[in-house]
Structure 1
Amino acid sequence: MKKILAAAALVSAFAIGSAASAATLLVSVVGPDAGTFEIDSNPTPYGVYVDPYYHQDHFFVHVSNQTGFFDEILGVSFFSSGGAIIQYSNADYTPLTGAKLFTGSVNNPFITIGSFMAEDADGFKYSITISNAPAVPEPASWAMMVGGFGVVGGAMRRRQRVSVSFG
């Protein structure tokens, strides 16, 4: 009975596991307005637009785990020819010109890892660093790991002792 329960627990831990999502990237912005936030490395654009003012394609993504910054960030728009706009929840924004921060198209972007320099409309310099965010195991991974330790411990406890005699 105990073996059946242990097997059922292990199978349910595997069944709970889900496919991992895209890698999370940590974006650090240093300049007159500074802080960090996280985005997916292969984000699903919330919207794809042709901006009449900037005359270029761009896509908008939401951010998570924001720290710093003067105002809460709603999201970031990445331009196809380079640069980005940090959009705040109070309808304010900071346009930054500089290097292209993604590869692929605006419909299927891949955010580029590295350090970039940018400048706002007033000539203030910004440093943007995009790196991999520290990985935290998903709850299903923890369940599988703990279940695996339990199964191995149970197998070690119940195995037959072998004695060797010479003579």
Structure 2
Amino acid sequence: MKKLLAAAAVASALVAAAPASAVTFVAQNGSAAVFASSAAGAQITFDKAATPGFSVTGGATMTGNVWNQGANPFGASDNNVFMYVLSSSSATISSVANAFRNISLYLGSIDAGNKIEVLGNGGSVLRTYTGSELSDPAAANGNQTSAQTNRLVTFNATGNEQLTGLRFTSTVNSLEFDNVRFTAAVPEPATWAMMILGFGVVGYAMRRRPNLRYAQAI
């Protein structure tokens, strides 16, 4: 049993101390169908209160289009509520208690001056993406009706990374987004250790189980 406990402790330390890897993203050009699919299961849509366990700070919300302030993402309904971030402000969307492997969101009229920081444990910045990267292969020119500058973007943790949120800033008006969805929750290191210990205990018990002997009838 002592060996099992030691193995669990080592596994926990390895999980906690494993070196960080990278964050990647995939994008899908926007449309009404893509926008609708991005809302399915999203914890934060701005049409209603955020799901418990998730935090929204900064930014502002609106509907419709206002010159030099914000534009409704391409494919969304006219009465859709979305968040926008002006050049003088910022917004942060984060998980309060858990870490995740994937975060997706629908970006509207992407500009080169837009910036998204992908956050890890403790609010550390794992990777920063500019609008020019997120709108590729199109130019990030803020076009409000182009499928290539209105996109569903999904950030993915690779290796041992854990994602906890996104921070939005911009050098121009504006950065618009909607339908933020966190998927694939990551168990905490202590949880992994307990799981490993549990499997070890079960295996140990099975090995110690006495062989059943059946009496042969005469």
Q: Do the two structures share a fold, i.e. TM-score over 0.5?
A: no
What TM bracket, shorter-length normalisation? Answer: 0.3 to 0.5
Higher relative contact order (CA 8 A, sep 6+): 2
State the TM-score, normalizing by the size of structure 2: 0.31
Higher strand content, 1 or 2: 1
